[in-house]
Amino acid sequence: MIRIAAVGDIHMGPESQGVLRPAFETLPDCADVLLLAGDLTRHGTPEEARVVAREIKDLGVPVVAVLGNHDHHDERPEEVTAILQDGGARVLEGQETVVECAAGRIGVAGTKGFCGGFAGRNAGEFGEPLMKEFVRTTRRHADSLRTALERLDAQDCAVRVALTHFSPVPDTLAGEPLEIYPFLGSYLLAEAIDGAGADLAVHGHAHAGTEHGMTSGGVRVRNVAQPVIGRAFHVYHLQVPERVAAPVGGQAH
């Protein structure tokens, strides 16, 4: 059994130093990896990023993260990324990483993702240049996620996880106003996940959403925004198949 701890939207600032650390220090007893699904800071400042870095440093389990829209607000995502990496996190943007644990290799492909909406109610790549670039931005994120997942397919992973900030499905947005669904995620992310294959998809961003969802291809999706899960992190258990050379179908709960 592989144990995936995950949380997003912790929105840390200077006064929240130490709030999550006691819970995070229990991770070696219950999880093989910690996934951070973006919006780790409030405004994307280096000062806030240093708070997060201290919170996750030397936890005893690997930490894999993507940035969220809040982490881009101060327009210094490279600095935020570097600070989190100094704290020990592997920060992904269209990349993949492999985590070793006793039960097998965990492959994680990550991207922030972007918005645009879902099938039948989505933005199109048509019209003004700004509108075209809006949709192309989402497509670039989705394409990079697909490519990262495909690269993991050749690395003998027991399970593969897609880590994003924006949602790939509308299911996990239930509870949010319908009017803002297009700004919370994109169906292109789900197409990438289904196209390349994954055992679990984890995202944040939708604070008033719902934890459980699924892509049309049957990949389980979990919204781990902290206001949704209501705790420092949630642990998902993925069954390791007897043979991992073929495509796998883990179970998450």
In a domain, 11, yes or no: yes
- Residues of the domain holding 137: 2-238
What's the confidence (pLDDT) of residue 107? Answer: 98
Please indicate, yes or no, if residue 249 is contained in any of the structural domains: no
Tell me whether residue 51 is in a domain: yes
Q: What is the pLDDT of residue 121?
A: 84
Dihedral (CA of 209, 73, 149, 242) sign? negative
Q: What is the pLDDT of residue 250?
A: 43
10 Å CB burial of residue 162 (0-12, 13-18, 19+) is buried
Q: Is residue 245 part of a domain?
A: no
- Residue 250 inside a domain? The answer is no
Work out the burial of residue 32: count CB atoms within 10 Å of its CB; fewer than 13 is exposed, 13-18 middle, 19 or more buried: buried
Q: Is residue 25 part of a domain?
A: yes
- Answer yes or no: is 175 within a domain: yes
Q: Given this model, what pLDDT does residue 248 score?
A: 40
CB neighbours (10 Å) of residue 86? 12
| Residues β-bridged to residue 98 | 107
Tokens describing residue 164: 């994003």
Residue 205 lies in a domain: yes
Among residues 233, 95, 218, which one has the least CA distance to residue 164?
A: 95
CATH number at residue 165: 3.60.21.10
Rounded-to-integer distance, Cα 20 and Cα 116, Å: 32
Per-run averaged pLDDT (10 residues), the chain, 253 residues: 98 96 97 98 98 97 98 98 98 98 96 95 89 95 98 94 98 97 97 97 98 98 98 96 48 51
For 29, 136, 204, 225, 245, the CA distances from 222, given in Å and listed in that order, are 22, 25, 8, 9, 25
pLDDT at residue 245 in the model: 39
User: What sign does the dihedral 4-11-121-141 (CA atoms) show?
Assistant: negative
Total domains in the fold of the chain: 1
